[in-house]
Amino acid sequence: MRCGTALAGSPAILLAALALSACAVGPNYERPSLASPETFRGEAAPPSASSLVDLPWWEIFNDPALVSLIQESIENNYDLRVAVARVEEAYAGVGIARSELFPQFGYAFNASRGRGTIFGGIETGVTNGTANLFVAALNVSWEIDIWGRIRRATQAAQGQFLATDAARRGVILSLVAGVAQAYFELRELDAELEITRDSVDTFQKTLALFTRQFQGGVASKLEVERAKAALTEAAATVPRLEAEIVAKEDQLCVLIGRPPGPIPRGASLIDQKTPSPEIPAGLPSALLERRPDLVQAEETAYSANANVGVALANFFPVIGLTSLYGSQSTELSNLLTKGTGIWGVAGQAAGPLFRGGQLYYSYKGSKASLEETQALYQGAVLTALQEVSDSLAARQKLIESREQQAQAVTALQESVRLSLLRYTDGLSNYIEVLDAQQQLFPAETTLAQIERDQLLAVVQLYKALGGGWSLDAAPGTTPPPTPAPPPSP
């Protein structure tokens, strides 16, 4: 049996179809209008294309213990493993969508049995009985992407892939910031515990002194009770701080992928070094490429834009070519050597006439989805600008606050020293020393908290600027897995 169509032997028609397939219906992606000021509000340094985030995180946070914890989190964190798996899944989706651009090759084998002198289009040689028929064939089918449906679907898959990869980078950024934040909070709790234990030791000595003086008839019962209250109040703070330290260590362990346990320490809170405020934050326009959440939002909008083209292409007919080549025989042993050759080439066009508004509402929904993703992108840009501005302001104001609080602590330390001198010289009783001590220790705690907040402000600024993912691993360490780029449509 032989078959054929008007397309057979008509290369001009095929070439015309290929030329038409270079077109694609639907809108091409254009970035929506975005708020983009020339400088960040609160920027202390002159505007510059260079930025704080040009420094890798292991130079921003130069405590060796912290660097080790961050790297361990990048290597072991389960949220990051989930993000990497999702990227690989999205990458596979691009390949699946793109595969429809190419001819699809297949094969078929059929064995049947029937009665008649002609069976399956060939003479069986059997006049009164049954005969076998065996068919083996290769087939090719190809949808000519005239309207760009497949290419738009591939673009949509690419956008989802890149959005998913941006989410992966966002997880890395959150890990870097999260580990640094928890570590600095832990070091502040360590400092606060040290201050509290020092105050307990001091108040114990004060209580012992007042007790001896009371027994000697020099001090009053009121002075003894005040010293006892100061001691017990400070002592009650110690177990609370110890519990908070354990909880913070456990939080860090989860971030770095460990069971709960102790965390190694590095530099003390006061010895932590941070970049100079004179290092610029960079240009606002750079946020669009740096911040993973903005990249994710834009790629999602890009994917939604491509889906509009897919929905529009569904209104048009699907045009395809199919061909078949093979052999058939009544004897299996002769199928590949003496069988009757069969071949065929066909073209088809199939499109919708009436589907109850399904295609229209699908297109309308895709347009609404595009508008939604564009609005989310525009809103995310504004939020990013706000976060950078807030972080810059917080960083600058905390520098001023620390200077003032440090002066207050220095003044109170001098007050304690002078009150001790007055007591030694017999110019005052020891209650004056106790009053000075009770003012000093809370002031020292407040200073430690401000120093912590200063470090956290650097972390938040670094995160707001989109740092932390462009250089994923410190020198000499293994970077996290990075997916391959998506194939082009």
d(C-alpha 462, C-alpha 391), whole Å: 9
Amino acid, single-letter form, for residue 427: L
User: Which tokens is 264 given?
Assistant: 């190694």
What are the strands, taking DSSP E only, across 251-364? 318-329, 340-350
Contacts of 219 by beta carbon, 8 Å cutoff, 6+ apart: 210, 213, 429, 430
Element (H, E) at 393: helix 358-424
Instruction: Determine how β-strand 122-123 pairs with β-strand 340-350.
Output: unpaired
Q: What is the DSSP string of 59-108?
A: HHS--HHHHHHHHHHHHH-HHHHHHHHHHHHHHHHHHHHHHTTSPEEEEE
Q: Tokens 């032997």 map to which residue?
A: 9
459 within 8 A of 177, measured Cβ to Cβ:
yes
Torsion of CA 55, 60, 63, 65, to 10 degrees: -80
Confidence at residue 6, expressed as pLDDT on a 0 to 100 scale? 36
Confidence at residue 3, expressed as pLDDT on a 0 to 100 scale? 37
By three-state DSSP, how is residue 327 classified? strand
C-alpha radius of gyration, the chain, whole number: 38
The CATH homologous superfamily to which domain 31-101+147-316+362-464 belongs is Outer membrane efflux proteins (OEP) (1.20.1600.10)
Q: Where in the chain is the domain with CATH 2.20.200?
A: 1-23+104-144+320-350
Closest C-alpha to 422, from 434, 440, 410, 411 = 434
Q: Tokens 């909008």 map to which residue?
A: 301
Confidence at residue 125, expressed as pLDDT on a 0 to 100 scale? 55
By three-state DSSP, how is residue 216 classified? coil
What are the strands, taking DSSP E only, across 184-227? none
342 CB neighbour count, 10 Å cutoff: 19
Q: Tokens 């990075």 map to which residue?
A: 482
Confidence at residue 69, expressed as pLDDT on a 0 to 100 scale? 92
Question: What does the DSSP 8-state code read for residue 142?
Answer: E
Q: What is the DSSP string of 353-365?
A: S--TTHHHHHHHH
Confidence at residue 487, expressed as pLDDT on a 0 to 100 scale? 55
Confidence at residue 99, expressed as pLDDT on a 0 to 100 scale? 93
Amino acid, single-letter form, for residue 417: R
d(C-alpha 295, C-alpha 170), whole Å: 10
Element (H, E) at 164: helix 149-215
Between CA 399 and CA 406, with CA 403 as vertex, the angle to 5 degrees is 130
CATH class of the domain defined by 1-23+104-144+320-350: mainly beta
Confidence at residue 337, expressed as pLDDT on a 0 to 100 scale? 82
Q: Where in the chain is the domain with CATH 1.20.1600.10?
A: 31-101+147-316+362-464
Confidence at residue 305, expressed as pLDDT on a 0 to 100 scale? 97
d(C-alpha 86, C-alpha 78), whole Å: 12
Positions in the chain whose pLDDT score sits under 70: 1-22, 42-52, 115-129, 275-281, 468-489
Between CA 141 and CA 144, with CA 143 as vertex, the angle to 5 degrees is 130
